[in-house]
Amino acid sequence: MQSKISAFFKPDSSTPKEDEDQSPFTVDFGDYSEKIIKGPEIITTYKRRTACLDSKESMNQDSEEKFTNLRLPKCGNVLNKKRNYAQLHLEVGQSNFLLHTCKECGFKYATGDEGDERIHKTVHKNYTHGISFKGWRNEKIIDVPLLERGRIILVQGDDPHTQQNKIQDIVKMMEMELGDGWILHKNCKVYLFVSSQRVSGCLVTESITKAYRISTNSVIKKDDSDTAKETRTSSVSLQFGNVSFEREIIRRDSSAVESEKGIDGIILCEDEAVPAVCGIRAIWVAPYNRRKRIATNLLEAARKSFHTGVTLEHTQLAFSQPTSLGKALISSYTGGSFLVYTTADLY
């Protein structure tokens, strides 16, 4: 009986003998991987760079063959450096997605961005209240009798670089309102009105030799012009018992309105030139400090100190092409008639 049982479990000689060490679940992928690797043959040549390898290590021939097919990075360089195109803001139809423009200072910034809003806050305060100014050790202070507060400092072309750099910052602020590229040159004298550690007013002057009187048509008196241009008519429209409501119609001459608009942007001058000494190239006062006689004090300081030891007359001052606000200031300061000049009249 035992012989039959042993013969039943005896392995068949026709079946191949399996390797004792080989696992029954091991599958040989050698042939299959070789077919895949030997698919479309692509020959790639790499140059081995041994600069990043440690010179103390010795590598045998087998390890060298393995490294020949590797692409070693350069020492100190970061590979696969890509730009970041992450979108920081989402546009979903909001009205303030684009840059917001401040109505007072004209600065453009992105609302919601802390950096932009911080910069806008600084620029806005510098424009509306004046540029921050702590003062200098050697200041040329101009004494003005009617000056109630603050001080006026004179800066010339040969003054230190620290003062010149501050003047450049102030001129950039002026250019936001008056236009850029024409306000300052090396021969200008600059007057600064300083109050509460801020430069709230600036006057730029230069030497000239001649100027021109404005035409009488450029000066319009308000009382005379109103009576000449306006005609009033009235008629009864409604009446309730003893109470009547009248409607008043005011008609203005269209030709007078057109001439007034033209004079506001253009100054008409006489052809004959007259002598002049000081040219007022530009004048600016911070918006929140206007109507405080700052511009008047700056003009007085220029008139008293433009030439050392000599106080100029009002008729010796001339102004460049003024704006509408500048024209009102000049008319108030000079009494109506004043001189204007061009760049060809420079000394």
* pTM for the structure as a whole: 0.60
**Of 18-22, 138-142, 209-213, 342-346, the least confident:** 18-22
206 and 222 in contact (C-beta within 8 Å)? Answer: no
**pLDDT digit string (tens) for 102-128?**
888 888 888 878 888 899 999 999 999
Give the confidence band of 151 by pLDDT, cuts at 50, 70, 90: very high
Give the confidence band of 146 by pLDDT, cuts at 50, 70, 90: confident
CB-based burial of residue 338 (10 Å sphere; 0-12 exposed, 13-18 middle, 19+ buried)?
Answer: buried
- Check pLDDT > 90 for residue 142: yes
Mean of the pLDDT values across residues 92-100? 66
Phi, psi torsion values for 315, nearest 5 degrees = -75, -10
Half-sphere exposure of residue 271, counting CA atoms within 13 Å on the CB side?
0
Q: How far apart are CA 276 and CA 210, in angstroms?
A: 5
Q: 256 or 311: which carries more pLDDT confidence?
A: 311
Check residue 345 and report its DSSP letter. Answer: G
Q: How far apart are CA 315 and CA 301, in angstroms?
A: 15
Give the confidence band of 262 by pLDDT, cuts at 50, 70, 90: very low
Q: In this structure, what is the dihedral angle of CA atoms 132, 134, 140, 141, given to the nearest 10 degrees?
A: 80
CA 164 to chain centroid: 20
β-strands 339-340, 317-319 pairing:
parallel
- Looking at residue 83, its amino acid is R
Mean of the pLDDT values across residues 143-169? 91
Chain-wide mean pLDDT for the chain?
A: 75
Q: Which residues pair with 240 in a beta bridge?
A: 243
Q: Can you read off the two tokens belonging to residue 18?
A: 């399996």
Q: Where are the beta strands (DSSP E) in the chain?
A: 100-101, 108-109, 131-132, 140-142, 151-155, 189-195, 198-207, 210-214, 230-240, 243-252, 269-275, 278-285, 317-319, 339-340
- Check pLDDT > 80 for residue 286: yes
Give the confidence band of 309 by pLDDT, cuts at 50, 70, 90: confident
Give the confidence band of 139 by pLDDT, cuts at 50, 70, 90: very high
- Check pLDDT > 80 for residue 277: yes
In the prediction, which pLDDT does 28 show?
55
The residues, any chain, with a CB within 8 Å of residue 230's CB and separated by 6 or more, are 250, 251, 252
Give the confidence band of 94 by pLDDT, cuts at 50, 70, 90: low
* Domain limits, the chain: 99-129, 132-215+268-345, 222-262
Q: Where are the beta strands (DSSP E) in 106-242?
A: 108-109, 131-132, 140-142, 151-155, 189-195, 198-207, 210-214, 230-240
- Check pLDDT > 60 for residue 295: yes
The architecture in CATH of the region 132-215+268-345 reads 3-Layer(aba) Sandwich (3.40)
Mean of the pLDDT values across residues 293-302? 94
